[in-house]
Structure 1
Amino acid sequence: MVTDLTRLEARLIKDFERHVHRPLGLTWAGFRILNALWAYDGLAQQDIGRVSGSTRASISSALTTLENRGLVTRRRVETDRRQLIVELTPEGRETLRRAIEAQTRREQAWTAVLREDQMSELVHLLRTLVNQETPPVD
């Protein structure tokens, strides 16, 4: 089961990056960062990894690219000049909107093989697994 989930995850990420994110000038990491910034209405740079599930190295590289493209801004916190707050620009919001729309279409194409009741059950089962406490180690 875990092998199949891992294989599916790898295939989906590769497909989404190829057919959705690269055409918009994004990477998978860049998309996840934009999505996290939208969900939290901006984040301290050190919190992005925890929220987006990205590594520190991919965050640094992706943020530079996103900032150079005008999709995010970084600003220093007045009370603590060591901290940077990262926020979406209007262009970043629009790029994210387009990415979500395109990814939704790809998700629908991938799940078209499932009946509605199968899709509901799959979502229920995956949420059950994701939302449980980490099982104890024997």
Structure 2
Amino acid sequence: MTAASEVSGDGDLATVLRDLAWTVHRLVPDVAGLEPLPNSELAVVKEVLAEPGIAVTELGRRVGMLQSNTSAAVRALVRRGLVTRERCDTDRRVTRLMPTSKCLEARELIRSVWSGTVRDAMAHLEPEQVEAIANARTALRELDKVLRETT
């Protein structure tokens, strides 16, 4: 079986990866005891954590949201105390977004709970399955990088 046939076959790898990402995304906030964030807000938090100080315009482009939707998500996150807005020193028209300490603490909590949740689930797999997943780590990171660069 070729890589192309595996991606487009009945066991569509892209669909499996999407379903897995969705399952993990939905489980983590519940397990961590945090109020689940809507996908739009989660996307914004993820980008702000990845690049503190990101401009709102660039954020909207990266997450593929309309300006009005991006602004609404940012407002909600400001109300939740997860993000702050700061004016750019060199161009006062530009607003930059920064994660709050609450956001940074939540990130660490989610990461640790998520890792434990996935690790616990993997304990129910056959050793060969765990090894196959571990062997795919580099390729999955590269796929993530490509997807980030093309969106």
Same fold (TM > 0.5)? yes
Distance in 2, Cα, partners of 1:58 & 1:118: 39
| From 78, 81, 99, the counterpart of 1:70 | 81
RMSD: 2.9
- In structure 2, runs of 5+ residues without a counterpart are 1-6, 147-151
Aligned to 1:10: 19
Distance in 2, Cα, partners of 1:129 & 1:38: 20
How far did 1:67 drift? 0.6
- SS at structure 1 position matched to 2:137: helix
| From 134, 137, 147, the counterpart of 1:120 | 134
- Which amino acid counterpart does residue 5 of structure 1 have in structure 2? A
- SS at structure 2 position matched to 1:85: strand
How far did 1:63 drift? 1.4
CA shift digits 1:7-40 (9 cap, x unpaired)? 43134314422x2236522234433432332232
Aligned to 1:48: 59
**TM-score, normalization by structure 2:** 0.65
Taking every aligned residue pair, what percent have the same amino acid on both sides? 23
Are 2:45 and 1:34 aligned? yes
- In structure 1, runs of 5+ residues without a counterpart are 133-138
How far did 1:73 drift? 0.5
CA shift digits 1:84-115 (9 cap, x unpaired)? 10001111111222222222233334544263
How far did 1:72 drift? 0.6
Distance in 1, Cα, partners of 2:69 & 2:87: 21
